[in-house]
Amino acid sequence: MPISDCEVLDPRIRRTRQLLQSALRTLMQNKSFDEISVHDITETATVNRATFYDHYADKYALLDALVAGGFHTLLHEREVRYGSCPSAASAIILATCDYLTQSHGNGADCQRQSAFEPLVEAAITTAIRRVLMAGLKDASPTSGIPPEMIATSASWAIYGAVKEWLKTPGRPPAEEVVPLIMQLVLPILQAAGSMESQEASPVAHS
């Protein structure tokens, strides 16, 4: 599977994958992920089984593409790129807050789909890691810590903090919690040796 379906240029491939992802999204409104079969997905998407496997190894790979694609689309719409600076990291955190708020907006859906929550966690943290790695790939860590380890640690720190914020009763606006999360994440990113130490400021929506 490509790094991101957003990077697929062939319009026919993009259309088929969009059909499959849309079918899974529709099915998940009424069924738990465990109850959904590849047959259900292909029938809803009106494509054959062979076509499904031409694009995804299984329904788990499709879920990963659905979650990651949605997150990357949000970042693309806001023109967010990670360039090893606090403002870029703050924008990624804010996007994570907004994406999780949107995807967990329906309490009933969240409860019904709780069985596949670890899959969603893995998909989102992987998506965050990809964005961070794009900015860290040319870094020369003064700490001796590999960029891959830095990006992975930061992605889980971001996701974990945002998830904790999401379930906080009477939680503050996302813009207010971003600087707090940055206090946790900044030391990790500074290990790359390419980010200046400075206080992060709230990031507004693009």
> Which of the residue ranges 6-10, 117-121, 143-147, 198-202 has the most confident prediction, judged by mean pLDDT?
143-147
In this predicted structure, what is the pLDDT of residue 33? 85
Per-domain residue ranges of the chain:
5-62, 78-190
Q: CB count, 10 Å around CB of 29?
A: 10
CATH architecture of residue range(s) 5-62: Orthogonal Bundle (1.10)
- Cα of 121 vs its chain's centroid, Å: 8
Percentage of the chain exceeding pLDDT 70 = 78
User: What's the full length of the chain, in residues?
Assistant: 206
| DSSP secondary structure, 107-132, as one string | HHHHHHTGGGHHHHHHHHHHHHHHHH
Does 65 have pLDDT greater than 80?
Answer: yes
**Distance between CA atoms of 3 and 177, rounded to whole angstroms?**
30
The single-letter DSSP state of residue 202 is -
12 contact partners, CB below 8 Å, separation of at least 6: none
Higher pLDDT, 200 or 77: 77
- pLDDT tens digits along 25-59: 999 888 888 899 999 999 999 999 999 999 999 99
In this predicted structure, what is the pLDDT of residue 173? 95
Does 198 have pLDDT greater than 60?
Answer: no
- pLDDT tens digits along 110-134: 555 555 678 778 888 988 898 888 8
